[in-house]
Chain A
Amino acid sequence: MNPSIPPSSAEYGGGTVLIRRDEVSAIVLDPGFSTTRAGFAGEDTPKSLIPTYYGQYSISSQQKHIFGDDIFVTPRPAFSVHNPISRDGVVEDWEMAEKVWEYSFTSRLTGTRSGNFVLNGLDDLHEDEPSREMEGVELEEKPLADSPLLMSECGWNPTKAREKTIEIAMESWGTPAFYLAKNGVLAAFAAGKASALVVDVGASNVSVTPVHDGMILKRGVQHSPLGGDYISSQIRALFKTNSPQPITITPHYLIASKAPVDAGQPPQVTYKAFPPDKTPDASYRTLLEERTLTEFKECVVQVWPGPNRLSATGPNGVANEELAKSSPGRPFEFPDGYNQVFGVDRYRVVESLFDTKAAILDPDSPFPAPVQAQAIPELIKSALNGVDVDIRPHLLANVVVTGASSLLYGFNDRLNQELIQNFPSPRVRISAPGNTAERRFGSWIGGSILASLGTFHQMWISKKEYEEHGVSIVEKRCK
């Protein structure tokens, strides 16, 4: 279509053509364990992407917090990093979660209210004059006073957490309209499907969500902790038992200078010295190590693509492990200059997502050894067993893969192989966007689509309804 020709009214405003959008400048907030995504509905990627982790330090016995990307670059004394969300994906620390989320949209989308004289300290002098019309002013102070807010949640979010969420949105942020959608449903929408089996491989969790007609089937929702952080722990376990020498990850902030070394040689590096009273908390180092591991996952780690398990033999009788060994290795250089080529090990660290017997055992790991029921094929199996048999083939034909950890090289091939092996008769079709951003922000994009639909605007929970029914309305309306 010629872009210079204005769209006809029937096309744009809805009607016969598929574009049925009506944007009301809603904000879509998709809080995850690792990152929090926020942006305006109708856009294709979230404008604001911040880590859910926040930094905490105290200066002159006053607690200060750091949000956003700044947490990576401030090795302050006794600086500790926390996450308000538990490993299960449910919010633990509501106070801090609210702050992190608020930061996610105020930092880039709405901006902080400059006229907020109650909070910015300029008005402190008049504290003894409580006679101001605080009620009228307060409405203006709320950060989301003129944007409806669509938030996402995991499929197993308890009622209490949902009610708390709407309370925060309505009371603290003052949004005129609110909706809470399941991120599985949103990811299905992002793939253009109303019914799908969503496999979301996130940082803290792998979840499988059957979605039927835009609604999740609660009995089919499955999740296990074998997500990105689990893979990190597996990589750490691998590094401990690495063959030329055990590898310790030294983050960049600890390194003053380094010299190039050959592969497998001990690093030549001088470390930065932090006096004991100035060292940041161990959690800070863990966070930065995690960044290196993320890079390692992106560059080196590979999922054995099948057709069988890594420990089994392939279709032509050769052990898969041998095949994996024969493929060329991938080099990786650590921040301290140590570098090594990783051969078959790069398959081993993720093999336990599919075959938990292949897990590298490490007594120090925070993750207990996984059981077979937690492996992804098993999750899918039990998810399907939880739903009606009539829709199972349809779900298998619409498997949507989303989540940043699903970007592991070869993940989709392997998943496809496993599904075909487990379900030989129905057609299995995996739809996973090749675009990195679309895979990482699947549920946010679905939210963006949903909140900009003209037909969705009748679904919002308005402030009026909230005031009328209280927090319990979220259970009634956001099904």
Chain B
Amino acid sequence: MAVADVRDMLDLPADGHPRPHKKQKVVEKRPEGITRELYALLGERAPPIAITENRYKGRPKWMSKVKVRSWQMTPFTNSARTDNLVLRHWQRQQDTVNNVPPPDGAEMDVDGKPEDEAVLTAEQEAYHFAKYNVRAQMPKRYTDEQYDRHLRSDEWTREETDYLMDLVEEFDLRWVVIADRYECQPQPSDTETGGAALVPAKQHRTMEQMKARYYAITASMLALEHPPSEMSETEFELHEKMVKFDPERERTRKELAALQLNRTADEVREEGILLEELKRIVANEQTFIAERKELYARLEVPISVGNTTMYQSSQGLSQLLQTLMQADKSKKRRSLLGTEGSGASPASQTPTQNILSGLRDSRADTPIGPTPTTATKRTAASNTHQTLKPLTPAEEVRYGVQHHDRLPSGVQFRNDRAQKLTQAKSNIQTQKLAAALAELEVPLRLVMPTERICKEFEKLIHSVNLFLDARKVAEKVESEIRVLEAAREERERKERESVQGMTKDIADVKLESEDRHIHVDGRSIGHAAESEALSDEIDDPGDSEDAPGEADADGENDVLSSTKDTPVREKEAFTTAHKRSASVHSIISNRSTKRQRK
């Protein structure tokens, strides 16, 4: 559908825009050297390879009209040289029509003078590169008298000093090269002095020694020229620097540099890691400081120092309310701006809720306010941390990094949490717990409540609780057993009395009672052993002696009473805070459960 039809349908004026011209087909120009027929065979698509005639590019047409400028081999001398060496180079010949200055910038007049001479004289005036012939500025050399008076040294002979100064001048103060080339020949005068110098020790001078000597000389020469009081600022600075040169320090610096250079790969890697860590710590600290500042800003209570008389009237009060509202509004805007970046919506919501409720309410809310932000920030920090480097479990333990599904709001101490565990519902239970812990020599208040210790502590409390529960049940069962036993005894005694009274078949009864005896005996073995173990531990022999006293004369009862007594003793053992190992506890609890089963 053409545009015109659409226009028709929509009743748009047709003359709104002139119809765009049909795109002109680009007719590619047929390159020369290809016949029309051959070119037609190629079709519309251009061949993938550009058809170009391989010929010399030549110079652009406009250039062919420019007159060829002639160049000439001309001799020149270099003013930086002292020996007038004449070398030859190509030089644009000056022509009057096209007044281009020669590359060397040497202006010369071509008015009939012989060419060579003209060039030569022009070059002599200024060889272009002569200006690059610069040398380091050297201080004035000392005279003999000056040397003798000021510059004498025990370390350096005059000859060696001269040699050093020559070398410094020769190499333009490139100390690296100077130290490299320093080869002071032992003086022939040494051999004259005597046999001591038969082997003229070729002194090896370090760069620091050379520098020290040179600076000392230069500084004193400078001071001789201008006394330090008359020196210009730069001169004085230079002088100070040279006077303060400390070869020893320089030497140690170089030693350190060598050490730094010869580090092992491990050390280098460690350094890199540490640097990165440091960077991270510094960055974290910055954010932490910023956070804390913000927190302080929130907690800060404006202290009123003004006179309150103006608020005593109702008008004043309403005015105050107005200003407070205003302040709150502005505060809200700021806090919104502040929390925009972190995107913590709960934090930003708190002030909005408080606009109308007034200052006091908002202050009451403040403790809640920052908590979510800190929590989010903590997660944000851990997020950034994770993007930095994934930690291995070992590292996580080392740095104390933990992942929580859900964090309780507010800050709490681990110690408090541990403390809470030791508080049972009832006071008695709490005391029992404390006693058990004291027996285990575990302090109620943990000395070092680290994460792991707290966990262990939690486990311990849990097991102690379990144990206490078990014991309670055991005791209950025990007392029931006792009651039942007592009831049975009573019944048996009655029976026996009736039997004795009736003098029935005695043999039968005896057999039966013996049977029972054996039965009871078997059960009592464990109790006996246990009571023994306990009586070993408990320094309370009177108690165990009491038991047979209580018992009846009958052998059966004797055994029974001893079993009767054991729970009591056990109880005593627990309540009296005697030293006892945990293993004993476990044995006891095992037994008590066994007994329970029975």
Contact = CB atoms under 8 A, between A and B. Distances in A.
A220 interface: yes
Interface string A6-37: 11010011110000101111000000000000
Contacts of A12: 103
A388 to B, nearest CB: 5
A219 B129 contact: no
Interface string A438-479: 000000000000000011011010101100000000000001
A384 to B, nearest CB: 8
Interface stretch (B27-35, B263-271, B300-308, B585-593): B263-271
B128 A421 contact: no
B257 interface: yes
A136 to B, nearest CB: 19
B263 A455 contact: no
B491 interface: no
A9 B103 contact: yes
Interface stretch (B83-91, B401-409, B443-451): B83-91
B86 to A, nearest CB: 8
Nearest to B258: A389
A426 interface: yes
B176 A390 contact: yes
Contacts of A212: 174, 176-177, 180
Contacts of A390: 176, 254, 257
Nearest to B79: A458
A23 B89 contact: yes
Most buried by B among A23, A146, A220, A462: A462
B176 A387 contact: yes
A212 B86 CA distance: 31
Q: Could you say which interface size class chain A belongs to?
A: 35 or more
A392 B254 CA distance: 11
A399 to B, nearest CB: 15
Contact of B265 (A215, A424, A457, A465): A424
B89 A213 contact: no
Interface string B554-598: 000000000000000000000000000000000000000000000
A455 B177 contact: no
A312 interface: no
Contact of A424 (B84, B176, B264): B264
B113 interface: no
Given A14-B128, A388-B207, A176 B87 contact: yes
Given A9-B103, A12-B103, A457-B87, A388 B130 contact: no
A345 to B, nearest CB: 31
Contacts of A13: 102-105, 128
Contacts of A458: 78, 80-81, 129-130, 133
A14 B261 contact: no
A460 B85 contact: yes
Contacts of B260: 425
Nearest to A195: B176
A371 B180 CA distance: 27
Given A14-B128, A14-B129, A217 B176 contact: yes
B177 A457 contact: no
A370 interface: no
Interface string A417-431: 000010111100000
B202 interface: no
Contacts of A217: 176-177, 180
Q: Could you say which interface size class chain B belongs to?
A: 35 or more
A391 B261 contact: no
Contacts of B102: 9, 13
A462 B132 contact: no
Nearest to B255: A389
A9 B100 contact: yes
A390 B251 CA distance: 11
B254 A462 contact: no
A240 interface: no
Contacts of A23: 89-90
Most buried by B among A4, A13, A217: A13
A464 to B, nearest CB: 5
B181 interface: yes
Interface string A32-66: 00000000000000000000000000000000000
Nearest to B81: A458
Interface string B169-185: 01100111101110000
Contacts of B198: none
B59 interface: yes
Given A24-B89, A389-B254, A455 B261 contact: no
A392 B263 CA distance: 14
Given A217-B177, A458-B78, A389 B87 contact: no
A218 interface: yes
Contacts of A460: 85, 87
Contact of B129 (A176, A177, A424, A455): A455
Given A9-B101, A148-B87, A424 B177 contact: no
Interface string B237-274: 00000000000000000100110111111011000000
Given A9-B105, A460-B85, A389 B261 contact: yes
A266 to B, nearest CB: 49
B163 to A, nearest CB: 14
A83 B255 CA distance: 46
A148 B86 CA distance: 10
Contacts of B18: none
B129 A465 contact: no
A246 interface: no
Contacts of A389: 254, 257-258, 261
A220 B85 contact: no
B63 interface: yes
A331 interface: no
Contact of B176 (A4, A148, A391, A454): A391
29 contacts: A4-B60, A9-B103, A9-B105, A12-B103, A13-B128, A14-B129, A23-B90, A176-B86, A177-B87, A212-B174, A215-B177, A218-B180, A387-B176, A388-B179, A389-B261, A390-B254, A392-B261, A393-B261, A425-B260, A425-B261, A425-B267, A426-B261, A455-B132, A457-B81, A457-B85, A457-B87, A458-B80, A462-B81, A462-B85
Given A217-B180, A455-B133, A465-B83, 8 more contacts: A9-B104, A13-B104, A176-B86, A212-B180, A388-B207, A425-B263, A425-B268, A458-B78
Q: Enumerate the 4 nearest inter-chain pairs by beta-carbon distance, A residue then B residue, closest first.
A: A13-B103, A454-B129, A462-B85, A458-B80
Interface of B: 59-60, 63, 78, 80-81, 83-90, 100-105, 128-130, 132-133, 170-171, 174-177, 179-181, 207, 254, 257-258, 260-265, 267-268
Interface of A: 4, 6-7, 9, 12-15, 20, 22-25, 146, 148, 176-177, 212-213, 215, 217-220, 387-393, 421, 423-426, 454-455, 457-458, 460, 462, 464-465, 479
